[in-house]
Amino acid sequence: MKEHGKVVLITGASSGIGAATARRLAADGHRVFLGARRTERLEELCAEIGKGGGTAAFGRLDVTSAADMEAFVQAARTAFGQVDVVVNNAGVMPLSPLEALKVDEWDRMIDVNVRGVLHGIAAALPVMRAQGGGHFITLASIGAYEVSPTAAVYCATKFAVRAISEGLRQESTGDIRVSVVSPGVTESELADSITDPVAREAMVHYRSVALPASAIADAIAFAVAQPPEVDVNEIVVRPARTR
């Protein structure tokens, strides 16, 4: 680790896995630059990290906007001088059966879960190439490996980001590390976006056993902490009671 740790950009950092990751990486000595639309939460989180002796700053970010993502990366460079790691964490999960025809929700998942990741790569990859290295960590899901009823579109977006990440890894010449972290059921606000009553009720039972967000933050911290010659490509984390 460098004297002042790495500079880590985290999208979707206002709650859940993103916020837990910010706390963990800041505690490890990294400088974190946090992005989300709910800036009041980011301000509170940065203050909390600062009181604990960590270093954090934030910027408003809508990952569906390529211009927003570009500005976010540049703001991190201005604040900390470099971009070592991008944690593509922002995501939405409004589950519903396909026959419910919630096209607007399908589009939203594609925009946030897929385009958001691509925007993160587009904004940060040239910076990482120019500085001689970097690390992309993308949050997928166990839905990147299997499909379940009401989750067809959500799973499709997670299959997509896993494929994108693998393509980026194969195109790397060794200077860019690429990790995919796939959580099982984890405590978060993701289920709050479900508007379909059947899917929402099913999710109550499904989420009865859930990991704390800190468990996923620990997995991300493990990938970040590896030496440059070690590229942790995929980590799947499930509750122990999940079959």
Which of 58, 80, 136, 154 is catalytic? The answer is 154
Strand order across the 85-88 sheet: 55-60, 31-36, 7-11, 85-88, 134-139, 176-183, 234-237
Q: Does residue 154 carry a catalytic annotation?
A: yes
Q: Which residue has the tokens 């995929």?
A: 234
Supply φ then ψ for residue 61, to 5 degrees. -150, 130
Residue count (the chain) = 243
- Nearest to residue 168, comparing CAs of 159, 176, 157, 156? 176
Q: What is the DSSP letter of 50?
A: H
DSSP state string for 52-118: TT-EEEEEE--TT-HHHHHHHHHHHHHHHS---EEEE---------GGG--HHHHHHHIIIIIIHHH
> Which positions are annotated as active-site residues?
154
